[in-house]
Structure 1
Amino acid sequence: MNSTTKKDYWVIGFLLFLCLVPSIAGVIRISQLITGSGYTVENQRFFNDPIPVLIHIVAVLIYSILGVFQFVPGFRTRNLKWHRTSGKILVFFGLTTAISGLWLTLVYPKVPTDGDWLFGIRIVVGLWMLVCVALGFIYALKNQFKIHSHWMIRGYAIGLGAGTQVFTHLPWFIFVGGDPSGIPRDLMMGAGWLINFLFAEWMIRKK
């Protein structure tokens, strides 16, 4: 039976670090919506219809943080019962993340900082995550666990896009300043998901 190695702890630490900034931002957003503080023109859509965004934030928080421990070999091997139980929870919150993200994109009004490309990018990303998590669950039911793990890696990588987007925006904040808008914002947002997608495919082929 495998034990949790030093490498496993590095993986846990890295993934939790990637979840950190989006998690803090999510908690702040929840606090604002509950207390009614921080209202601006840019975020008024959240205050006008808070339930969908609250569902999305909670789903992303649970999916991203709980999912960290699904991808650590030593921890997973020593806790197979926990892996299966939490995996079912993650499927629910992964699907909820994807569906609520698509709903927010389709129903919420477009904000001035978003360019024309970002709408399409979000639709593609949301549908891809939905397919990945659904296929991962289907292959688990078929006991095809290798293929199951591949699709779950893909879905989780997309779910962590917000963490990578912190770093794709960082050069703009350092060298330009202010909040990006239009095509630069679209490219930086898309780059976060693309980097995670490519890294997931590299991991799958490495395995």
Structure 2
Amino acid sequence: MPTNSTTKKDYRIIGFLLFLSLVPSIAGLVRIFQLTTGSGYTVENQRFFNDPIPVILHIIAVLIYSVLGSLQFAPGFRSRHLRWHRISGRILVFLGLLTAGTGLWLTWVYPKVPTDGDWLFGIRMVIGIWMLICIILGFVFVLQKNFRTHSHWMIRGYAIGLGAGTQVFTHLPWFVFVGGEPSGIPRDLMMAAGWLINFLVAEWIIWKENSFRN
């Protein structure tokens, strides 16, 4: 039987991950509404209206990946629902690959927007490739029944997938103290900081888990 403390830990993990996904999910749903209704057209988002399918696929994949993934990393919930964990895990592998793949496609094919600096293209390409590697390795290790290493790589992939949620907070000081939309190198650094923070948190979680088991 799971203890109350385990249940509370599950709620904290799931709640935090869903909270981190909230703003990007709302923004993504608004974007889908705009693209499907033809509203909110501007010069800045013209690229989405010109070729909407990839960005819609990306948004849907990220949204489901974020929400479904939050349940995978709650240890008590996972141990009580192993069959569900395995089935949803296969879905998450597909969604993670779709998230990374469409993200790379959007970066490579869509024209650069004026607010992007010179570094952001390269940063996004590295992040997209890293997420692909994490998901693929996570899948390979679960096939080999190396569940511990599988978990570590899936944590890394999920952390990258939640980058947009952390970027809300890395942009917040700019909005408060400077105002307006950041552009150029400051925007590149704030975007990179969101992924970097998630990367470091993921590595800390993995290190902590390894230290506890050793």
Q: TM-score, normalised by structure 1?
A: 0.99
Contact between 1:136 and 1:149, CA under 8 Å: does it hold in 2? Answer: yes
Deviation readout 1:64-96 (Å, 9 max, x if unpaired): 110000000000000000000000000000000
Aligned: 1:197 with 2:193: no
Deviation of 1:8 after TM superposition, in Å, equals 1.4
Q: Which amino acid aligns with 1:29?
A: R
Q: What is the rounded CA distance, in whole Å, between the counterparts of 1:139 and 1:64 in structure 2? A: 21
Q: What is the rounded CA distance, in whole Å, between the counterparts of 2:192 and 2:10 in structure 1? A: 29
Deviation readout 1:101-145 (Å, 9 max, x if unpaired): 000000000000000000000000000000000100110011000
Deviation readout 1:147-178 (Å, 9 max, x if unpaired): 00000000000000000000000000000000
Secondary structure, aligned partner of 2:165: helix
Residue of structure 2 in register with 1:169 after alignment: 171
Q: What is the rounded CA distance, in whole Å, between the counterparts of 2:2 and 2:130 in structure 1? A: 33
Q: What is the rounded CA distance, in whole Å, between the counterparts of 1:8 and 1:72 in structure 2? A: 5
Residue of structure 2 in register with 1:111 after alignment: 113
Deviation of 1:2 after TM superposition, in Å, equals 3.7
Aligned alpha-carbon RMSD (Å): 0.7
Q: What is the rounded CA distance, in whole Å, between the counterparts of 2:42 and 2:177 in structure 1? A: 26
Residue of structure 2 in register with 1:57 after alignment: 59
Q: What is the rounded CA distance, in whole Å, between the counterparts of 1:9 and 1:84 in structure 2? A: 20
Q: Which amino acid aligns with 2:169?
A: F
Residue of structure 1 in register with 2:122 after alignment: 120
Residue of 32, 35, 38 corresponding to 1:33: 35
Residue of structure 1 in register with 2:152 after alignment: 150
Contact between 1:2 and 1:77, CA under 8 Å: does it hold in 2? Answer: no
Residue of 182, 185, 188 corresponding to 1:180: 182
Fraction of identical pairs, as percent: 77
Q: What is the rounded CA distance, in whole Å, between the counterparts of 1:12 and 1:156 in structure 2? A: 13
Residue of structure 1 in register with 2:20 after alignment: 18
Superposed counterparts of 1:85-104, under 5 Å: 85-104=87-106
Number of aligned pairs?
207
Q: What is the rounded CA distance, in whole Å, between the counterparts of 1:173 and 1:99 in structure 2? A: 30
Q: TM-score, normalised by structure 2?
A: 0.96
Secondary structure, aligned partner of 1:5: helix
Q: What is the rounded CA distance, in whole Å, between the counterparts of 1:12 and 1:160 in structure 2? A: 13
Q: Which amino acid aligns with 1:203?
A: I
Superposed counterparts of 1:127-142, under 5 Å: 127-142=129-144
Runs of 4+ in 1 over 6 A off after TM superposition: none
Secondary structure, aligned partner of 2:179: coil
Q: What is the rounded CA distance, in whole Å, between the counterparts of 2:68 and 2:150 in structure 1? A: 17
Deviation of 1:190 after TM superposition, in Å, equals 0.2
Deviation of 1:7 after TM superposition, in Å, equals 1.5
Q: What is the rounded CA distance, in whole Å, between the counterparts of 2:2 and 2:128 in structure 1? A: 35
Residue of structure 2 in register with 1:48 after alignment: 50
Secondary structure, aligned partner of 2:113: coil
